[in-house]
Amino acid sequence: MLIEFFYTLRAAKLPVSVKEYLALLEALQAGVVGPLSADAWSTEDFYHLSRTVLVKDEKHFDKFDRAFAAYFQGVELLADFRREVPLDWLRKTLEHELTPEQKATIEKMGWDELMETLKKRLEEQQERHEGGSRWIGTGGTSPFGNGGYNPQGVRIGGAGKNRSAVKVWEQRAYKDYDDSQELGTRNIKMALRRLRRFAREGLAEELDLQDTIRATAANAGWLDIRMVPERHNNVKLLLLMDVGGTMDEHVQRVEELFSAVKTEFKHLEFFYFHNCVYDFMWKNNRRRYAEKFETWDIIRKYNKDYKLVFVGDATMSPYEILQPGGSVEYNNEEAGAEWLQRLTHAFPQFAWINPEPPGVWQYRQSIALVQELMGQRMYPLTLKGLEEAMRLLSK
């Protein structure tokens, strides 16, 4: 029944497979949006269902919206309007103002008549027209063209003036959804979920349906309920975050990331550092000198199965990385590079998330040094960057 809808989506260059189309039909048969009858559907419900089932990447949402509207409004997506309208036909050189009485005398066409007439005009018209009531032109009362008036027409190019067009014919320029933009907490969570690895932990609180059926059948039909522990994300994450100085510019984005991480990972340990990691870190910035955590103790305490993630802009003096005593706050006995190497050796699965745009990385010597120490495992704090980092850590 919806085969034409499927072909409309394919004609719009949407990567919709037959398997996804069959999944949509199964959802309709299951009554997700009502009986399998177009008359009984809520168009809005069917829109959300079909987009969920058929569109797997949000960058295709705009294509889907246009194809959906074309199909359900009775518009042939690939109509016969293949002849280009010369730009000279649409050049406006006069403004023609009609009185209310004149506007009232202009008749409007129905949809089918309008589309059929437009096809004929495209075949017949050979030159530019202006101020008329029949041809594709400007400034008149024709239902085709722009800059004029008609109670119901097709605007071809130009900008809307009277807002009475039932269709607009122009090439719309859209940009794909940008996966390099900094995004909010919800989208960060979606990127972090690439790192999830579930295991059953804790008390038996969840019904094991398959085992219950098997046990009941083996018990001659007497119900034998079997329970299993709930599934939890068992990934362990050690998060080390740069704070203060140049990181003040990135507080909001790092807070969003931190909030998402705390929600997604049950086994999370976090510590703060400033610019580069040295011999101690802290959990409370107000008490960072009173409550220090020795870096050696952190290395010894947590196992190698922890994923190590640094968050920082890596923007500092190169001496803070390479030189003993290079810290801006105290006289560190060993260079920051030594501690970075110890941490990455202790936790083989590691990555560095940098909130600075990648375009500036090449102009900052300290970023290049940290990249080298990280084995080029530095990623920007964007949706794409987080997905790449999580994909690396999940291997």
Lowest mean pLDDT among 49-53, 81-85, 257-261, 390-394: 81-85
Q: CA 299 to CA 306: how far, in whole Å?
A: 10
The residue among 143, 169, 195 that closes a domain is: 169
pLDDT, tens digit (0-9, with 9 covering 90-100), for 40-70: 556 777 888 888 888 888 778 878 888 887 7
Question: Do the beta carbons of residue 106 and residue 132 sit within 8 Å?
Answer: no
Helix (H), strand (E), coil (C) string for 247-276: HHHHHHHHHHHHHHHHHHCCEEEEEEEECE
- 37 has pLDDT over 60: no
Question: What CATH number has the domain bearing residue 369?
Answer: 3.40.50
Residues 293 and 378 occupy one common structural domain: yes
CA distance to 4, 7, 16, 60, 70, per residue, from 11 (Å): 10, 6, 10, 13, 11
Task: Please indicate, yes or no, if residue 187 is contained in any of the structural domains.
Answer: no
- List phi, psi (to 5°) of 378: -110, 135
pLDDT, tens digit (0-9, with 9 covering 90-100), for 203-234: 566 677 888 888 888 888 888 888 766 655 57
Residues 279 and 370 occupy one common structural domain: yes
- C-alpha count within 13 angstroms, C-beta hemisphere, residue 78: 9
Residues 254 and 323 occupy one common structural domain: yes
Q: Please state the rounded mean pLDDT for residues 70-81.
A: 50
- 391 has pLDDT over 60: yes
Residues 125 and 274 occupy one common structural domain: no
* pLDDT interval class at 31 (50, 70, 90): confident
Neighbours of 82 (CB within 10 A): 7
Look at 395 and 366; give whichever has higher pLDDT. Answer: 366
Task: Please indicate, yes or no, if residue 78 is contained in any of the structural domains.
Answer: no
What is the model's pLDDT at position 73?
Answer: 61
The pTM of this model reads 0.49
Highest average pLDDT, of 100-109, 132-141, 143-152, 235-244, comes from 235-244
What is the model's pLDDT at position 27?
Answer: 85
Question: Do the beta carbons of residue 284 and residue 274 sit within 8 Å?
Answer: no
> Comparing C-alpha atoms, which of 148, 190, 144 is closest to residue 168?
144
β-sheet bridge partners, residue 145: 137, 155
Task: Please indicate, yes or no, if residue 144 is contained in any of the structural domains.
Answer: yes
Residues 130 and 224 occupy one common structural domain: no
What is the model's pLDDT at position 38?
Answer: 47
Can you say whether the dihedral through the CA atoms of 192, 198, 204, 209 is positive or negative? positive
Can you say whether the dihedral through the CA atoms of 181, 182, 187, 192 is positive or negative? positive
Q: CA 348 to CA 299: how far, in whole Å?
A: 12
pLDDT, tens digit (0-9, with 9 covering 90-100), for 159-197: 555 545 445 545 444 334 344 444 465 666 666 666 655
Residues 386 and 305 occupy one common structural domain: yes
Q: Please state the rounded mean pLDDT for residues 369-375.
A: 94
* pLDDT interval class at 80 (50, 70, 90): very low
pLDDT, tens digit (0-9, with 9 covering 90-100), for 235-250: 788 999 998 888 888 8
The residue among 169, 190, 215 that closes a domain is: 169
Q: CA 172 to CA 174: how far, in whole Å?
A: 6
Q: Which domain holds residue 160?
A: 87-169
What is the model's pLDDT at position 166?
Answer: 46
Residues 377 and 242 occupy one common structural domain: yes
Q: Please state the rounded mean pLDDT for residues 251-266.
A: 83
Percent of the chain with pLDDT over 90: 20
Residues 278 and 323 occupy one common structural domain: yes
> Comparing C-alpha atoms, which of 151, 115, 152, 117 is closest to residue 134?
117
Residues 219 and 238 occupy one common structural domain: no
Question: Do the beta carbons of residue 23 and residue 56 sit within 8 Å?
Answer: no
Q: CA 269 to CA 343: how far, in whole Å?
A: 14
Question: Do the beta carbons of residue 66 and residue 8 sit within 8 Å?
Answer: no
- 311 has pLDDT over 80: yes
Mean pLDDT of the chain: 75
Question: Do the beta carbons of residue 41 and residue 1 sit within 8 Å?
Answer: no
Task: Please indicate, yes or no, if residue 179 is contained in any of the structural domains.
Answer: no
Task: Please indicate, yes or no, if residue 26 is contained in any of the structural domains.
Answer: yes
Q: Say what angle helices 61-72 and 43-54 make with each other, to 10 degrees.
A: 140
Residues 242 and 101 occupy one common structural domain: no
* pLDDT interval class at 9 (50, 70, 90): confident
* pLDDT interval class at 305 (50, 70, 90): confident
Sheet containing strand 129-130, edge to edge, reads: 129-130, 137-138, 144-146, 153-156, 165-169
- In the chain, the number of structural domains is 4
Task: Please indicate, yes or no, if residue 41 is contained in any of the structural domains.
Answer: yes
What is the model's pLDDT at position 221?
Answer: 82
Task: Please indicate, yes or no, if residue 386 is contained in any of the structural domains.
Answer: yes
Residues 222 and 264 occupy one common structural domain: no
Task: Please indicate, yes or no, if residue 185 is contained in any of the structural domains.
Answer: no
Percent of the chain with pLDDT over 70: 63
* pLDDT interval class at 300 (50, 70, 90): very high
Residues 323 and 307 occupy one common structural domain: yes
Highest average pLDDT, of 107-111, 174-178, 229-233, 275-279, comes from 275-279
Question: Which element (helix H / strand E) includes 306?
Answer: strand 306-311
Q: Please state the rounded mean pLDDT for residues 264-270.
A: 84
The residue among 120, 144, 169 that closes a domain is: 169
What is the model's pLDDT at position 226?
Answer: 80
What is the model's pLDDT at position 277?
Answer: 94
Pairing of strands 267-273, 236-242: parallel
What is the model's pLDDT at position 377?
Answer: 93
